[in-house]
Amino acid sequence: MSPSLTLQSLPLFPLGTVLFPGGVLPLRVFEVRYLDMVNRCHKAGAPFGVVSLTHGHEVRQPGAEQEGFAPVGTLATIESLATPQPGLMMIRALGGQRFRISASQRLKHGLWIADVDCLPDDVPVPVPPDLEDAARALRKVLQSLPAKLPAGEEPPVRAPWHLDDAGWVANRWCELLPLPLQLKHRLMDLDNPLVRLELVGDLLTKMRIA
């Protein structure tokens, strides 16, 4: 997708999480405003935008404040969709390109749409020698995950692994570490993948992980 691409009326899904490029996002969808949106996107093979909540709630509540969300988000493409019962969809979406919102609007039934400018993908950067511990530690974590998951549950990180790429390693650690939402978003918002990995490396050192 071209870095200069502008998307108009992109449907948004404000969530209490951060979706990173290359990440996996399982969602349980039951609100009418999102059921229709997800169905349309799935049929058209079109993405929706995942943005992190700054205030408000994922599920609309009577009398609650209106949702507020970060200006930078990530395109999500639906990989799989199941409808186990009427009014419930279980989807698995994949993180794509980041975007910046230029204008947004809340429709009558509560769905947010936005005009967005897509941001450039991370430039592939090799993991430098002083940060190779972060890549090695991530490999160990990813190799151990399947044994810890319930039967039939898919790992939160999909193959292939790009453990030699600074941006990919940083993004996967950002997903796996128990970091505050605001910090995760700040890391996702960084344009330099090497700086992102350096900051993640500092966090791993403080947590005595690597």
* CATH C-level class of 6-118: mainly beta
pLDDT computed for residue 136 by the predictor = 97
Asked whether the beta carbons of 89 and 29 are under 8 A apart, the reply is yes
Mind listing the pLDDT tens digit of every residue in the chain (210 residues)? 444 577 899 999 999 999 999 999 999 999 999 999 999 999 999 999 999 999 888 777 766 678 899 999 999 999 999 999 999 999 999 999 999 999 999 998 889 999 999 999 999 999 999 999 999 999 999 999 888 888 778 888 988 999 999 999 999 999 999 999 999 999 999 999 999 999 999 999 999 987
Q: What is the pTM for the complete model shown?
A: 0.91
Superfamily of domain 129-206: BPP1347 like domain (1.10.4060.10)
- What does 67-105 look like in DSSP terms, one character per residue? PEE-SEEEEEEEEEEEEEETTEEEEEEEEEEEEEEEEEE
pLDDT computed for residue 204 by the predictor = 96
Q: Among candidates 123, 39, 127, which has minimal Cα distance to 86?
A: 39
pLDDT computed for residue 2 by the predictor = 42
pLDDT computed for residue 63 by the predictor = 65
Asked whether the beta carbons of 123 and 193 are under 8 A apart, the reply is yes
Residue ranges of the chain assigned to CATH 2.30.130.40: 6-118
* Residues counted in the chain: 210
Residue ranges of the chain assigned to CATH 1.10.4060.10: 129-206
